[in-house]
Amino acid sequence: MTILQTADPVGCGCEGPDLAGDILSLDAALARIATLAQPVTKVETVALDHAAGRVLARPVHTSCAAPPFNNSGMDGFAVRVADLSGQAQRTERLSLAVQDRLAAGDGRQLRLAPDAAIQVFTGAAIPEGADAVVMQEQVRRVHGRIFLEDCPQPGLNIRLSGEDMAKGIEVLSAGKKMTARDVAVAAAAGAGSVQVTRKLRVALLVTGTEVRAPGMALDAATIWDVNTPMLAAMLRRPLLDLVAVEHGADHPGELTLQIGRMAQGADLVVTTGGVSVGQEDHLHAAVSGAGGEIAFAGVAIKPGKPVSVGRIGGALWIGLPGNPVSSFVTWTLFGEAMLDGLSHAAARPSRRNVIIGTDIHHKPGRCELRPARHAGFDGSGRDVVTFDSATHSARVHGFAAADGLLLIPAEVDFLRSGSLVEFVPFRDAV
């Protein structure tokens, strides 16, 4: 596919001259969050089998070389190459007597006799004097002797001590969010446990007098609550301790008391709804009433413009819009960034360029975040994404098929199929 038009890959273009007031661009909001979300400093020690999903507070160093000794990479026979090369000068028939056998875990320190071979199995220590291992499939064994077709090269099928990791080197850095692969590295380094930042305490408050738990009967003025199960599912992960999940009515006094109480036991309070400018939007007043401070209220994006961030006592606060898609989008962009800052997680690339598979028509003014899905690759191996013709903040049905968010710059009114556009992949909630 040929690129017919390209978009500026730096930033999202939200800071156009038509934007008024204190509303921030996407990138300015992320920069503000980076200054607010300071790492939790308390450290705890966890066993390796409980470390996946946790963030390293201290680096991991190797306690010894890996592997700790020269060992066989194959089932076969440990030989001395000089013995076989000497035979090759005298005769075409290469043969060695089988001296012994050595399995993995056998602690005997065997010495290879002249013109002999020791049968070894994968992981067994290389006998003193041996400098190659010939695979058992490449020899013929007859009555205590092996016969070879060719003379091997020195070092064949031998895993040298320290060739994977030397003793005392750093193999995992502080700030690394542990995966199963990292657990394997730590185990190979000899670490039985790792030091990680403590779990982040997160409280979730979903507002809206009109919402009911999914499965409950609805009347003419109520809807099912999508945000509570959606966000709770995103917040239940090894890194986090979801200390409270509550529902709040649209009453300013009650919300003030409720959010103040929830902030006392949390590092981060997440709320949904009530952050716009309607007469029934009470979260800003509730945060202020609880002694909190609002860092910003509004970002030049679509959907999710009302998203707000602040602090209530010792807890950070993020106010997500009430519409489910807006709530998911703003959590993906800003909530995850807050968790990264609080957990001291190392920064990870969150945006990349993709090719759009169809034309985009867009009303200039705000950066639009449109759910998109992978559709394959173009002739140059670049990701191609497809998407709906418009973003609907309350339409959830097609959202499950999306793989991430397409960032349409604020000033753009049209992008032709084949253009490069920034893309934010969804993170796995682990």
DSSP 8-class letter at 322: S
Structural domains in the chain?
A: 26-43+197-343 (3.40.980.10), 44-66+163-196 (3.90.105.10), 71-159 (2.170.190.11), 352-425 (2.40.340.10)
Grouping H, G, I as helix, E, B as strand and the rest as coil, residue 406 is: strand
pLDDT of residue 399: 78
pLDDT of residue 428: 63
Q: Running along the chain, 430 residues long, what does each successive block of 10 average in pLDDT?
A: 37 44 87 96 96 96 96 98 88 90 96 97 98 97 94 97 96 95 97 97 92 84 90 95 93 93 97 83 92 97 96 98 93 95 78 93 90 92 88 70 91 94 77
Task: Return d(Cα 144, Cα 99) in angstroms, integer.
Answer: 8
Residues 6+ apart with CB under 8 A from 374: 383, 384, 385, 403
Task: Return d(Cα 176, Cα 58) in angstroms, integer.
Answer: 9
pLDDT tens track for 315-358:
999 999 999 999 999 999 999 999 999 998 876 657 899 999 99
pLDDT of residue 86: 87
Contact 337, 371 (CB under 8 A): no
Q: What is the pTM of this model?
A: 0.83
Neighbouring C-beta atoms of residue 211, cutoff 10 Å: 21
Task: Return d(Cα 166, Cα 172) in angstroms, integer.
Answer: 14
DSSP 8-class letter at 18: T
pLDDT of residue 276: 84
Angle between helices 26-36 and 336-343 in degrees, nearest 10: 30
pLDDT of residue 392: 64
pLDDT of residue 347: 63
DSSP result, 223-280: EE--HHHHHHHHH-STTEEEEEEEEE-S-HHHHHHHHHHHHHT-SEEEEES--SSSTT
Burial of 222 (0-12, 13-18, 19+ CB in 10 A): middle
pLDDT of residue 220: 82
